[in-house]
Amino acid sequence: MENQLLTLKNNELTVQINPKGAELTHVIENKNKFDFIWNGSEWPKHAPIFFRLLDVQLMMNIC
pLDDT tens-place string over residues 21-35: 777 888 999 999 998
* pLDDT per residue as tens digits for the range 33-62: 998 887 767 666 665 555 555 555 555 566
Nearest to 48, CA basis, from 57, 60, 38? 38
The SS3 assignment for 35 reads: strand
What's the predicted TM-score (pTM) here? 0.61
pLDDT over 90, % of the chain: 29
Beta strand ranges found along the chain (DSSP E): 6-9, 13-18, 23-29, 34-35
Q: At CB < 8 A and 24+ separation, what contacts does 49-52 make?
A: 49/24
Q: At CB < 8 A and 24+ separation, what contacts does 26-29 make?
A: none
